[in-house]
Structure 1
Amino acid sequence: MSDNVAPTVPAPPIPPSLRGWSGEFRATFALAWPLVIAQIAQNALQATDVIMMGWLGPEALAAGTLANSFLMPLFLFGVGVVGAVAPLTAQARGRRDIKAIRRVVRQGFWAAILLAVILAPIVLQIRTVYGWLGQDAALAARAEEYIQIAVLMLAPAMGVIVLRSLLSTFDASRVILVITVGGVIVNALGNYLLMFGNFGLPRLELRGAAIATTLTNLFMLGVMLTYVLRHRRFKRFNILIRFWKPDWPRFREIFRIGSPIGLTVLAEVGLFAAAAILMGRLGTDELAAHAVALQCASLAFMVPLGLGIAATVRVGIAYGRRDPEGIGKAGWTSFMLGTGFMAVSALSFILLGPAIVAIFLDPRLAENQNALVLAAAYLAIAGLFQLVDGAQVVAAHALRGLSDTKVPMFMAILGYWCVGLPVAWLMGFVLDLRGVGIWLGLAAGLAFVAVLLVGRFAMRERLGLLERIA
């Protein structure tokens, strides 16, 4: 199909603004729940690597952790940039414009390739950078072994995000879930075979883990691409036709919308990395307790994150359809679902904290007692910021559906680094609240960002965010 032809793609038969709140609730929930489970499965994929690296021994686990600590922030920046494909394809669906969808996806692949080419040389400097930071030379060398292969996963992994955005736009989130779960299985099997040399294969240890990670992303990209190219609902988009043909306006649009998303992700990841460094200054028990509480909070966060992705799609579709009422219903429905779940998780963390942390640290061991008490205290504070954490992520994603990412980026940087981190330092070290103070600082930063982002979405018309559909 030529790019000069602009057929239309059927929009949802009844606009959300005409179906009422219950219809929007059903549409959002149907789109979101597979995305939530897929996010949890994505976490399981990373957890599988950590567990199986641990089977190799503490040195391998430490080296793998160093490698991923260096790789993931850069990778997540790239994910944020190509994530701009989601609101752009959703808006195109609202306008019923097949040509725009095809071109956005195609330029999304271009962006993924360019970002991989730019980021790869930076990632490969891991040994040099850790040398400057005074990291153990032997661990840095082993981390470099992993990175030299894992760097190959950048392009396919970001390509997966491009296709996930397209599939989410057309409510095919169950396909995303199935393929992600398949990726977890492929990754675990690859680790088992290549890390440990089972079934006659060479024992490659960390290199084996890197190969498995790369193959897993290639597998997920291949399956998603095959589905999109062959399924009757998606093959009409012909996303690879004239793949070499540039569309510079849309290419620039992806970076214009996506770069602030990537920087927002970096700001948040950086805040929690800085909190871990501060915890490390307090002692081993504090750092271990922090890791446990953060793992629990991260797991709960997958629910509003999945709902946020759904909000981007639902708001984007309404925005493309020039439906201001539908935009409001889509955004507030996701917001209510996200904060409702986080209220439940907050109560769980506050009331069941000791029982939850006992899953991670054996309460029968005397050396774990202090860490258990600290972890339960941190988890209780994590419960307090569950509501604002859910609110800020859903609001940010709803604004992305309006292609509004630059101002939210500045709000996030301001909240995380000018409020959250200073408050954590003040309360943790100046007021001597130690780990509790650091967690209160995290809560303050998240609350500040949540108020700004929710307020911005609530005032979207007054702030001129809907001018393009007026």
Structure 2
Amino acid sequence: MSEQITVVANATAAPEPVRVSWIAELRATFALAWPLVIAQLAQNALATTDVIMLGWLGPSQLAAGTLATTFLMPFLVGGIGLVGAVAPLVAQARGARDTRSIRHIVRQGLWAAAILALVLTPIIWQIRPVFALLGQDPAATLLAEEYIHVAIWLLFPALGIVAFRSLLAAFDATRVVLLITVGGVVVNALANYGLIFGNWGLPRLELRGAALATLLTNIVMFTAMAIFVLRHRRFRRLHLLHRLWAADWKRLGQIFRVGTPIGITVLAEVGLFTASALLMGRLGTDEVAAHAIALQCASTAFMVPLGLGTAATVRVGHAFGRGDPIGIARSGWTAFGLGTGFMACSALVFLAFGPAIVTIFLDPDQPANHNALALAASFVAVAGLFQIVDGAQVVAAHALRGLSDTKIPMVVAIIGYWLVGMPVAYLLGFTFDMRGVGIWIGLAVGLGFVAVVLVARFAMRERLGLLRPR
């Protein structure tokens, strides 16, 4: 049974839940979600900027930077998922009008960020011996180590951003999240240009400059969010940093209980696509290039249901906190309808215009690109087929997080991605010789399994006892 927030009773009786119509819920969800969607796209732009500018240095630096970020990302993504438990917990407390719990949850979210940074830093620092065991090129490993030993210090600000962003989302203040994220893209681009290449009188640091730019960007974004929540009159009354040093072990444990399964769920999905890239590597260079193109197309479309999923966590959490089962249903199904509706449109676009879309990435006038383009077009077609289930599974998972239901969805994700999706991908790709298309069909099957189970779980939430506060 999932862990759910214990609602602290107020001095007065809980107010009668306010009924929200379907139209009003649609408007509220859309207003909450659209800045988050754009912010997710902007977050992608941060990594894209790094790749482009490291590419200007040359293939060796780009390869080393890619190796370094590939090593760092699983730790960071897992931590982001864990600290992201702040969002449903704050949303539930806000729905219950429990201001004291909001303060404690956010404060312990910052504690969780600090604890994770302290635990992960010495592990990530050992990138050189780890890469040596994995047989990576020694020269690339040394360059990757240079990057990691600078970028590693971004762990606390990056995870602290998640705690503050979760608070802002729970209070429907998503536009400031968008503005700060877009500002971070600008800061990252300018810092990269100055520190990588030594422009504007700055030292030419090359790969270390890229790492330093990423670190500075996260510090700037964390500082901007901290200043906003500490000084804005809407959040100042929460006294978020009052007695910051005082531990609340109950709330901290609650964040880890709810957040750890979220982190593992995200890692399971990220790991599935990482493993699929490794399988593509066994097929050839054209397959890897085509896979990267199709994956970029799919991940760009995925940002929309991901933003809607965050909105679902908040809206469902609000309704759950105020004890409103009708509001829970309307919030969850509204986000689900928006997410799957958008993905149905993107599926049509992928199926109809896939061959044209892939030419954005590779020049069709170059004969050497023809095979990769043909493969990419076929992969994008399969990606079009799984767009709806991909949107369904992410929105359903986030809606369940609004109920603090994270343990069973974690198990479902592990089974769906690794015991269903990956074996099917391998069998179709290699045993049945469907190659890259077979691998992508396996991904679709895994996502479809998770989508069906999680949507059914949300539909059966009352029968499963997910609406009982604990």
Contact 2:425 2:443 in 1 (8 A): yes
1:19, CA displacement in angstroms? 2.4
1:129, CA displacement in angstroms? 1.1
Amino acid at match of 2:278: I
Q: Distance in 1 between matches of 2:189 and 2:11?
A: 42
Q: Distance in 1 between matches of 2:60 and 2:313?
A: 41
Q: Distance in 2 between matches of 1:7 and 1:194?
A: 53
Q: Distance in 2 between matches of 1:253 and 1:362?
A: 51
1:124, CA displacement in angstroms? 1.1
Q: Distance in 2 between matches of 1:123 and 1:437?
A: 34
Amino acid at match of 2:257: R
Q: Distance in 2 between matches of 1:261 and 1:467?
A: 20
Deviations 1:151-192 (A, max 9, x none): 000000000000000000111000000000000000000000
> Is 1:200 equivalent to 2:205 in the alignment?
no
* Corresponding residue SS for 1:19: coil
Q: Distance in 2 between matches of 1:90 and 1:376?
A: 42
Contact 2:92 2:321 in 1 (8 A): yes
Matches within 5 A, 1:356-371: 356-371=357-372
Contact 1:7 1:98 in 2 (8 A): no
> Is 1:323 equivalent to 2:324 in the alignment?
yes
Q: Distance in 2 between matches of 1:255 and 1:6?
A: 23
Deviations 1:22-63 (A, max 9, x none): 000000000000000000000001110111111110110100
Q: Distance in 2 between matches of 1:128 and 1:350?
A: 45
Q: Distance in 1 between matches of 2:466 and 2:254?
A: 17
Aligned to 1:143: 144
TM-score w.r.t. the length of structure 2 is: 0.97
Contact 1:62 1:139 in 2 (8 A): yes
Aligned to 1:424: 425
Q: Distance in 1 between matches of 2:438 and 2:457?
A: 29
Aligned identity (percent) is 68
Aligned to 2:299: 298
Contact 1:378 1:436 in 2 (8 A): yes
Q: Distance in 2 between matches of 1:395 and 1:72?
A: 24
Q: Distance in 2 between matches of 1:366 and 1:130?
A: 36
Q: Distance in 1 between matches of 2:24 and 2:17?
A: 9
Amino acid at match of 2:427: L
Matches within 5 A, 1:100-115: 100-115=101-116
Deviations 1:132-152 (A, max 9, x none): 111111001100100000000
Aligned to 2:4: none
Aligned to 1:242: 243
Contact 2:36 2:174 in 1 (8 A): yes
Aligned to 2:100: 99
Deviations 1:403-457 (A, max 9, x none): 0000000000000000000000000000000000000000000000000100000
Q: Distance in 2 between matches of 1:8 and 1:174?
A: 33
Q: Distance in 1 between matches of 2:150 and 2:20?
A: 50
> Is 1:117 equivalent to 2:118 in the alignment?
yes
1:366, CA displacement in angstroms? 0.6
Q: Distance in 2 between matches of 1:341 and 1:129?
A: 42
Aligned to 2:88: 87
TM-score w.r.t. the length of structure 1 is: 0.97
Aligned to 1:226: 227
Contact 2:17 2:323 in 1 (8 A): no
Aligned to 1:332: 333
Alpha carbons of structure 1 residues 436 and 230: separation in structure 2 relative to 1, 3 Å: same
Q: Distance in 1 between matches of 2:389 and 2:17?
A: 30
> Is 1:445 equivalent to 2:446 in the alignment?
yes
Aligned to 1:260: 261
Q: Distance in 2 between matches of 1:7 and 1:392?
A: 36
Q: Distance in 1 between matches of 2:425 and 2:251?
A: 41
* Greater RCO, CA 8 A, separation 6+: 2
Q: Distance in 2 between matches of 1:399 and 1:128?
A: 40
**What stretches of structure 1 of length at least 5 have no aligned partner?**
none
Matches within 5 A, 1:150-229: 150-229=151-230
Q: Distance in 1 between matches of 2:326 and 2:71?
A: 43
1:15, CA displacement in angstroms? 5.2
Amino acid at match of 2:305: P
Q: Distance in 2 between matches of 1:203 and 1:417?
A: 44
Q: Distance in 2 between matches of 1:265 and 1:140?
A: 27
Aligned to 1:398: 399
Q: Distance in 1 between matches of 2:202 and 2:217?
A: 18
Q: Distance in 2 between matches of 1:201 and 1:373?
A: 44
* Corresponding residue SS for 2:278: helix
Q: Distance in 1 between matches of 2:329 and 2:127?
A: 45
Alpha carbons of structure 1 residues 374 and 8: separation in structure 2 relative to 1, 3 Å: farther
Alpha carbons of structure 1 residues 243 and 347: separation in structure 2 relative to 1, 3 Å: same
Alpha carbons of structure 1 residues 374 and 14: separation in structure 2 relative to 1, 3 Å: farther
Alpha carbons of structure 1 residues 341 and 8: separation in structure 2 relative to 1, 3 Å: farther
**What stretches of structure 2 of length at least 5 have no aligned partner?**
1-7
Q: Distance in 2 between matches of 1:293 and 1:315?
A: 33
1:243, CA displacement in angstroms? 0.3
> Is 1:344 equivalent to 2:342 in the alignment?
no
1:199, CA displacement in angstroms? 1.4
Aligned to 1:31: 32
Q: Distance in 2 between matches of 1:388 and 1:258?
A: 24
> Is 1:128 equivalent to 2:129 in the alignment?
yes
* Corresponding residue SS for 1:345: helix
Q: Distance in 2 between matches of 1:240 and 1:261?
A: 26
Contact 2:20 2:327 in 1 (8 A): no
* Corresponding residue SS for 1:163: helix
Runs of 4+ in 1 over 2 A off after TM superposition: 5-9, 13-16
Q: CA RMSD in A?
A: 1.5
